[in-house]
Amino acid sequence: MSNLKKILMDKKTCKSIWFMRQAGRYLPEFREIRSKNNNFINLCLDSELSSEITLQPIKRFDLDSAIIFSDILMVPFALGQNVKFVKNEGPELSELNLDIFLNKTNEEFYETLKPVYKAINLTRKKLNKEKSLIGFVGAPWTLIVYMLNLRNGKKIDLNRLINKKLNLEIIFEKLIKFINFHIKEQTKAGADVVQIFDSWAGIIPEKNFNDFCINPNKEIVKFCKKENISNICFPKGIKDKYFDFVDDVKPNGINLDYEVDPIHARKKIKDVVVQGGMDPRVLLKSDDEIYKTATKYIDAFKDIPYVFNLGHGLLPETDPDKVRKLIKFYREH
Ligand code: CP3
């Protein structure tokens, strides 16, 4: 059993380290491939290149887990929306066509994402058995934020959601079905852990929090448990509700964001494996500051199973040498 899966399933205190966005723009070897592949979606659909990118941070740093190079927006893409990445604006999706969306079949969805499953399969064969291969999905709410283009520049405009007058219940239901299907196919292809990213959970209005965040995540975690799939939730930005989330959704692992105080979290959180928390912006600071912050997290969770990671993805401007030093520090600590 891989190192990360062992921690999640047996809840043994043992060490493990990986980073969200460990395969990405801060690595010159990624930028090299990216410069020759203008279309990001097509890059995700190139199984050989996707597998190569997935393994780049493993080769460079010998991390304990690899996360498949893909994107949460591959699900809306497979459900019929075009996905474009506008420089400095973030992703832009073509208008959601409910007819196409609601009529998609599992077979069509699978056919579109076959290269992703092939990339997982290729990567699993090249990866040491001790190392985890992490598959992932976006939670429904976070996908909806992109699918309905609720972003207004850098901000999210929830009035846009109200103005659309859509039957959200049906959209959530359909998304959960395909998210679960995607989870299952990724694990069939060789992923042994899945992470569920709810990156925009923090902007859900209080009155909708259960319907838009808790219940969908709970349904996905329930599916994972039924299928015996190790899972980690990341409901970013939900502040004090992190603890109710864990009690209610009951994932195997919970990724903290950088707004949650680790000492407070240690007191409140029980029966779950904790992952991450450190602000990725700390990696832009001096070595001493990096080590000091890392120590705060390592110490806070020293008596429970803790997976070292960050409170969000590595920033593109991160110096890979700082990442190397942090991994070395963690392993020697
Ligand atoms: O290394 C890894 O973590 C694996 C690959 C991965 C990517 N995206 C590759 C990527 C993962 C796990 C994701 C998840 C993802 N994608 C999330 C959830 C996590 C989070 O960051 O909150 C979200 C919200 C997305 C949607 C998305 N994809 C955005 C907003 C953007 C553009 C801006 C950004 O944050 O980078 C992307 C593009 C993207 N996905 C890149 C990479 C390496 C950059 C592509 C490039 O321009 O070269």
Q: Coil, strand, or helix at residue 224? A: helix
Provide the pLDDT for residue 161.
80
Provide the pLDDT for residue 37.
96
Confidence of residue 165 (pLDDT cuts 50, 70, 90): confident
The per-residue pLDDT for range 222-258, each reduced to its tens digit, is 999 999 999 999 999 999 999 999 999 999 999 999 9
Burial class of residue 173 (count of CB atoms within 10 Å of its CB; 0-12, 13-18, 19+): middle
Asked if residue 138 has pLDDT above 80, the reply is: yes
Look up the pTM and report it. 0.97
Confidence of residue 292 (pLDDT cuts 50, 70, 90): very high
Asked if residue 40 has pLDDT above 70, the reply is: yes
Cross-strand pairs, 83: 93
% of the chain at pLDDT higher than 90: 89
Asked if residues 211 and 154 have their Cβ atoms less than 8 Å apart, the reply is no
Provide the pLDDT for residue 11.
84
Average pLDDT over residues 141-155: 88
CA of 194 to the centre of ligand 1 (A): 16
- Identify which of 206, 71, 196, 93 has the alpha carbon closest to the alpha carbon of residue 151: 93
Provide the pLDDT for residue 23.
96
Is residue 34 among the annotated active site residues? Answer: yes
Token readout for 304 is 């429970």
Q: Answer yes or no: is the C-beta of 151 below 6 A from any ligand 1 atom.
A: no
The per-residue pLDDT for range 63-115, each reduced to its tens digit, is 999 999 999 999 999 999 999 987 777 899 999 999 999 999 999 999 999 99
Pocket probe mutation, ligand 1, options 30, 72, 149, 193, max atoms within 8 Å of Cβ: 72
Average pLDDT over residues 189-213: 96
Average pLDDT over residues 285-313: 97
Pocket probe mutation, ligand 1, options 21, 34, 141, 279, max atoms within 8 Å of Cβ: 21
Token readout for 80 is 């019929």
Which of 26, 46, 64, 71 is catalytic? The answer is: 71
| Non-local CB neighbours of 223 within 8 Å, separated by 6+ positions | 180, 183
Confidence of residue 13 (pLDDT cuts 50, 70, 90): low
The per-residue pLDDT for range 71-83, each reduced to its tens digit, is 999 999 999 999 9
Q: What is the mean pLDDT of the chain?
A: 95
